[in-house]
Structure 1
Amino acid sequence: MESEKNRKYICQVCGYIYDPRKGDKDTGIAPGVPFEDLPPDWECPDCGAGLDDFSAI
């Protein structure tokens, strides 16, 4: 089972998966940043959905 800090989250709008082990280089999120530590204004890089549109997987 994934540890909490490595848990992946899926965008309910477009299906993009945020993987903390990879981060999000396009928006300056370094590898190792858990979903819970993303800035409140971070958006899905594929569709622009907000954090509230993501669910843990």
Structure 2
Amino acid sequence: MSEPFKVWQCRTCGYIYDEAEGDPGEGLAPGTRWADIPAHWICPLCGTPKSDFDMIEL
């Protein structure tokens, strides 16, 4: 059984990245895991680096 999808939130602006939904507008297909997003990726809304996101529970 695969691990459940997780949700990540930008500390700066509150942008939510949901692994289940992805972000097709940013080239991230639904099901794209956080670990599979490149380290140099930045928040599409405010430019905060990936390292400044926190995993959250909705």
Number of residue pairs matched?
Answer: 54
Kept in 2: contact 1:26–1:45 (CA 8 A) = no
2:39 maps to 40
Identity %: 44
Give me the TM-score of the superposition, normalised by structure 1: 0.83
Distance 1:45 1:23 in 2: 13
TM-score normalized with structure 2 length: 0.82
- Which has a greater percent of helix? 1
1 or 2, which has the higher strand percentage?
2
CA RMSD of aligned residues (A): 1.4
Whether the 8 Å CA contact 1:24–1:30 is kept in 2: the answer is: yes
Deviations 1:5-47 (A, max 9, x none): x110010000011001111112211110111111122111111
Q: Distance in 2 between matches of 1:41 and 1:30?
A: 18
SS in 1 for 2:51: helix
